[in-house]
Chains A and B, each alone.
Chain A
Amino acid sequence: MAGESETLTAGSYIDHHLTNLTFGQLPAGTRPGQDQAVWTLAQSGHEASQMGFMAIHVDMMGWSLLLGLIFFVMFRKVAKNMTSDTPSGFQNFVEMVVDFVQDNVKGMFPYKNPLIAPMALTILVWVFLMNFMDLIAVDLLPAAAAVVGEHVFGMDPHHVYFKVVPSTDPNITLGMAFDVFLLILFFSVREKGFGGFVGELTKHPFSHKNPVVQTLFIPINFVLEFVNLIAKPVSLGLRLFGNMYAGEMIFILIALMYSAGPALGIFGGGLQIVWALFHILIISLQAFIFMVLTIVYMAQSFETDESH
């Protein structure tokens, strides 16, 4: 499906599905006859990895922005026509989501901050939409992209890589998690003061009345607490990435069955339905978990009187 011109093996099919459409600075000498660095679309996974940090996953970024925009436009439309009279239609749904987010924030974040609840709403809906892309048949959008790439941009259809689930890219999930991390640092310093924040990192979990012993504990405490701090964004981002990546991988593997004879194909169809139904649970749950953990981390950074 991905490219009729070459023999399609299971390996190349999977590879193709896991490679991003990458636009970046290709170092000199990667392609034959290329004597200087150029900004271009990567023609293969190898080229994409040669680009290093100076590259952007066009497909991931594009879908992420598009889905974010869909979320914003949908909710903005309701917000603009918001009435405090009897709500109807889509407003009911939006209010339900907003209410749900508000309940969660009120339950877990007992402080006043105008940023937390809207951020939680953005995360919930946006991450859900990103995850939802997983439920669209794995080959549908990449195949469409190949057709567009071939006829509109004149590319070799086999080199049109196209992933559609932004949350299967660690760049996307970690990008959001890192924003959350920056907010953790910001609010921690703002609420506890710099000294308070450093104290939190160095006075726990081991503490002693004797100041000399306490001083000895500082490096140990710092290592433990620093790992704890760093683990927050990393686990937040990688949890979502891992779940979605694994889910997509299983869809790809199931899709491989369609080319392995009618019996296995039918079996694969059944499996796909079952996995898709189960995956509905996962995508909602992961969006919810990302939101809840963000709220919890924010609440922790606001906690001034800690009792470990």
Chain B
Amino acid sequence: MSFNLTFIGQMIAFAVFVWLTMRYVWTPITKAMEDRQKKIADGLSAADRANRDLELAQEKASQELHEAKQKAAEIIEQANKRSARLIDEAKENAREEGERILVQARGEIEREQNRAKEALRAELASLVVIGAEKILETSVDAKAHSEMLDKLSAQL
């Protein structure tokens, strides 16, 4: 165990191995490790972002669903209202039509009645004249009597 060239040899060997390690081992390994760290960080932040996006989308979807339901309810209500109104209108129309027909029918009846009365009256007047002629057996001033009879028939 003496101090000799081994010392110099180890000095050189150490320097060489340190240089080799620096150049061919340390640099590639630490670079790859840093790359991975960056990759992981990127992945995590991407996942975070995706989660946030998902949350937003879910919120939006539920909101939209809610809105759609509301709208559907509104539409149904409107439709109900409309149908009620239509029914009411139809009822009203039917009633009016009925009334109108009724009025018309009444007018017709009245007119028919009047016409019958008129005919009856005329017939009666002539009958009365004939009857009176027969009764009196004499010629009567037809003109004077018909005037009186007209008055009479107008009173009927």
Chain A positions near chain B (C-beta within 8 angstroms): 18-20, 22, 24, 48-49, 51-57, 60-61, 64-65, 68, 71-72, 75-76, 78-80, 82-85, 87, 94-95, 98-99, 102, 114-115, 117-119, 121-122, 126, 166, 169-172, 174-176, 178-179
Contact = CB atoms under 8 A, between A and B. Distances in A.
15 contacts: A24-B5, A48-B2, A55-B4, A55-B6, A57-B6, A72-B21, A75-B21, A75-B25, A82-B31, A84-B32, A115-B18, A118-B21, A122-B14, A126-B17, A171-B6
Contacts of A52: 2, 4
A122 B4 contact: no
B52 interface: no
Nearest to A57: B6
Contact of B22 (A55, A56, A118, A179): A118
- Is the interface on chain B under 10, 10 to 19, 20 to 34, or 35 or more residues? 20 to 34
B39 interface: yes
Interface string B1-45: 111111111110111011011101110111111011001000000
B45 to A, nearest CB: 17
A94 B13 contact: no
A85 to B, nearest CB: 8
A75 B29 contact: yes
Contacts of A82: 28-29, 31-32
Q: Which of B5, B10, B22 has the most CB of A within 10 A?
A: B10
Given A61-B10, A179-B11, 20 more contacts: A48-B2, A54-B5, A55-B4, A55-B5, A61-B6, A61-B9, A75-B25, A76-B24, A78-B29, A79-B25, A82-B32, A94-B29, A98-B29, A99-B33, A119-B18, A119-B21, A171-B9, A172-B6, A172-B10, A175-B13
A152 to B, nearest CB: 23
A175 B11 contact: yes
The majority secondary structure among interface residues of chain A is helix
Interface string B105-127: 00000000000000000000000
Contacts of A166: 10
Nearest to B36: A84
Contacts of B25: 72, 75-76, 79, 118, 121
B24 to A, nearest CB: 5
A98 B22 CA distance: 12
Contacts of A115: 18, 22
A273 B63 CA distance: 73
Binding site secondary structure of chain B: helix
B5 A72 contact: no
A19 B36 CA distance: 49
Contacts of B8: 175
Central interface residue in A18, A54, A82, by most chain B CB within 10 Å: A82
A75 B29 CA distance: 9
Interface centre among B2, B6, B29, by most chain A C-beta atoms within 10 angstroms, is: B6
B16 to A, nearest CB: 8
Contacts of A121: 21, 25-26
A79 B28 contact: yes
A21 to B, nearest CB: 11
Contacts of B15: 179
A79 B25 CA distance: 6
Contact of B7 (A68, A72, A126, A178): A178
A254 B32 CA distance: 47
A175 B9 CA distance: 8
Contact of A122 (B5, B17, B30, B33): B17
A12 to B, nearest CB: 16
A201 B76 CA distance: 97
A61 B10 CA distance: 7
A119 B3 contact: no
Given A18-B1, A179-B15, A79 B24 contact: yes
B129 to A, nearest CB: 134
A175 B10 contact: yes
A83 B39 CA distance: 12
Contacts of B33: 84, 95, 98-99
A64 B26 CA distance: 20
